[in-house]
Amino acid sequence: MTNEEIGVIFQNIMQSKNVGLLVLKNDKVRHINKNFKNYLKNLGIEASYKTLLDINENYNQDFQIYKKYSFLENLLEKYKKFNSNDNEDRTHHTMALSKSNLELFYTGFVHNGEKYNVFTLKPLHKNLKLMNNKFFELLKNINKLSTEILSNSNFKSYDVFNQIFSILEKEMMLDAFIISLEDDDFMYINFGKIKAHDLSDLYLPKYSLTGYVSTQKQSIYIKNSLEIDMQEGFKIFHASKPEVYSVFGIPFDVGNGLKGAILFERKGYDSFLKPEIKILEELSYTILSILKFAKLYEDLNNEKEKIYDLAIKDKLTNAYNRVFLGEYLENALEKAKRYGEKYVLIFVDIDGFKSINDKHGHNYGDTCLVFFAETIFNCIRNSDILARYGGDEFLIVLNETSLSEAKKIIDRINIKLQNSHFKLSISYGLLELDKNLTIEENLNIVDNLMYKMKYNK
């Protein structure tokens, strides 16, 4: 069989399968079939632009032409890059032209030193069943992934959304995925990825695109992000160089402070197909469920922390209670024995506190205790602890601190108390935790040192 015979057979197959074909060799048209010409007409390409090559040559000459064919920008950039780069021997690009229900495929390759560019156009409806099956599988995988991560005790919504974006990006469905929440005059980006740019945890003005979508009553589809007609006061903030994106935006308000917008974005003009819009709508329900679960998870954790604080802290002064102190000192003693860590105990008592209560009343006495504890908190590190031992007796535990440093700290506390409105004075005992003694024995020693100071005044 000759090459000519093979060519004829190939052309007839293409024609019978409703595939449009354009073949360029070194920028010269070698073949263009009737289907391709008809599809160009469906795309609204005038007779003077008989091939995509003609569009490329006239692309930047007339603004109206540029505007009309802006959906081909990414394709033509690939084409120009391939043909101007001698080191590149293969490229390809696929895009959906949903407005005309067509799929355009382009591939460029080098054969025997010659550069070939092949363009095909074919109807999308032939692949809809296949696409629906693919999208069903995609949703199933995302829901399975979400269930697995939601079952994790260390659940983080960012991890779920990041993996969802990775799946959709891998399937070439998305170039950007943003979930934003209204926060006073700002839009908080709960999750945001635009290719390699991570926008999560950033704040945007409420007059941004996400803010605009959140004000809508229903989902919106923006074919060209550079030509969107938003109401006055709104504008788009670009993470990088402005490019044409198609944006599918879904506003939501699911209560409990969760009001905002989901943005799905893909490069190119009108680049989402109807089945893809449908899958993203379905996916939004999963995303909102994850958001609500994350909020509930956060609220439960906050409540858990409050309950835990109530169990281990003194309600009046916010200092730790004796239950927590006992556990902390047991751990500290074990670390001192095993690793040689050093701890200093300071037993503190307010001088004449009973007289303060008798003279000014218990409410005033409580105010003194709160001020006393706040003063100590302001003078010690976050790694140190303050515990209320009983009444007006408190214990400070300083870790990895020498006795001389501890003396400076307690003197600083004493000066602040004496110079305050309450004119408080204190007695204290200082002791480096002795790993050879029990906790009770250590506490008895430092308690006696405090009373020795008090009685010597």
All domains in the chain, ordered by first residue: 3-123 (3.30.450.20), 128-303 (3.30.450.40), 313-456 (3.30.70.270)
Distance CA 350, CA 454 (A): 10
State the DSSP H helix or E strand holding residue 343, giving kind and residue range, or none if neither: strand 343-350
Distances (CA, A) of 266 to 68, 109, 153, 176, 251: 19, 26, 34, 6, 18
pLDDT score, position 252 = 94
pLDDT of residue 226: 85
CA-atom Rg of the chain in angstroms: 36
Low-confidence ranges of the chain (pLDDT < 70): 1-17, 46-74, 88-101, 124-155
C-alpha distances (whole Å) from 34 to each of 39, 55, 269, 401 are 9, 18, 26, 87
Q: What b/e readout covers 69-107, taking b as 16+ CB neighbours within 10 angstroms?
A: bbbbbbbbebbeebbeeeeeeebebebbbbebebbbebb
Both tokens assigned to 247: 């944006």
Which sign does the torsion angle of CA 290, 295, 296, 298 carry? positive
pLDDT for 456? 86
pLDDT at residue 25, as a whole number: 85
Q: What are phi and psi of 159, to 5 degrees?
A: -65, -40
Q: Are strands 259-267 and 102-111 parallel, antiparallel or unpaired?
A: unpaired
